[in-house]
Amino acid sequence: MVRAQSAICADTGNYGLFITLAVAEGKGMAVRRAAAKLPALTRAVADKLGEPALVSALGIGAAAWEAVVGGPKPRGLLPFEPLADGSRVAPATPADLFLHIHSPRHDANLVLAREFLRSLDGGATVIEEVMGFKHLGGRDLTGFVDGTENPEGDERPEVALVAEGDAFAGGSFVSLQRYVHDMALWDRLPVAEQEKTVGRTKEDDEELDDEVKPPTAHIARVVIEEDGEELEVLRHSLPYGLTRECGLYFVAYCASPGPFRRMLKRMVVRDQDGHYDHLLDFTRAVTGASFFTPSENFLEGLA
């Protein structure tokens, strides 16, 4: 039976650790050996610490696939395509690997991350490490509930994982963006205007009626229907930071890279009526990268 990497379909823990890395020249085999051991390493650290909810996933980027894996890439695994329209930018930033760890315990995340980084044996260097956390029961730092429409239960693997029968079954395409919020500007906005910007009520997390919700509201831009079906991604986003810089670390897993790209384009690029996501007037993406997270079986087969 194909097993997905453990972080993908699990409920997001109270704490998350997001690490992007660059593969060192000529060190693809060192990374390959470490990647093959990650599932077993995760289970071993979880057992040692008595934290069964400690989970991980490792994504591999298009540029590093040949060096680390070899063989054909998953169809759709491409470098992150940047977008820009006026002041709104979704940049592409360098990253060959993405290590995603989450659990109810910050210390458990750190122990696993350190063990994995040690196992790389110099095969990759850290580009960025961000520690995320659950805030007020699942709210973004803007005060609004984040991920209200995230799939639950059996829907999670249906949305996130490549289906059985494919050569890369059990894997998932993952895209990340780190957003920096302008909290001073946001906090000056009256709550009623904040709600129109998001498209939901702040206190009760109720979607605004269509006659009240503007076409520039965040959820009006990212909720997309095709052939009567709503496009979905599985989010594992968490707030990060404190006073100097803070925002949301956005992570989206999906069986195909298409839904995320459609959502992002509708956020950033004005449509024929001039509409874009007005939430981007208060937050900006500073990173962007795409990866494929193979199944645990696939990783273990790299040994």
The amino acid occupying position 103 is S
**pLDDT averaged over every residue in the chain:** 97
| Angle separating helix axes 106-119 and 28-49, nearest 10 degrees | 150
**Which pair of structure tokens corresponds to residue 212?**
């009240």
CA distances from 231 to 209, 219, 291 (A): 21, 12, 20
The amino acid occupying position 93 is T
Residue 182, pLDDT above cutoff 90: yes
Encode pLDDT of 16-70 as tens digits.
999 999 999 999 999 999 999 999 999 999 999 999 999 999 999 999 999 999 9
Smallest CA-to-CA distance from 175 within 298, 51, 77 is with 77
Check residue 292 and give its pLDDT: 98
3-state secondary structure 130-196: EEEECCCCCECCCCCECCCCCCCCCHHHHHHCCCCCCCCCCCEEEEEEEEEECHHHHHCCCHHHHHH
Phi and psi dihedrals of 137, rounded to 5? Answer: 75, 20
What is the Cα–Cα distance from 287 to 226, expressed in whole angstroms? 28
Encode pLDDT of 55-87 as tens digits.
999 999 999 999 999 989 999 999 999 999 999
Active site residue 146: yes
**Which pair of structure tokens corresponds to residue 200?**
């939901």
CA distances from 78 to 7, 99, 222, 256 (A): 22, 18, 22, 12
Asked if 182 and 267 touch (Cβ cutoff 8 Å), the reply is no
Encode pLDDT of 85-102 as tens digits.
999 999 999 999 999 999
Residue 227, pLDDT above cutoff 90: no
Taking the whole predicted model, whether its pTM rises above 0.95 is answered as yes
Selecting among 11, 121, 140, 146, the annotated active-site residue is 146
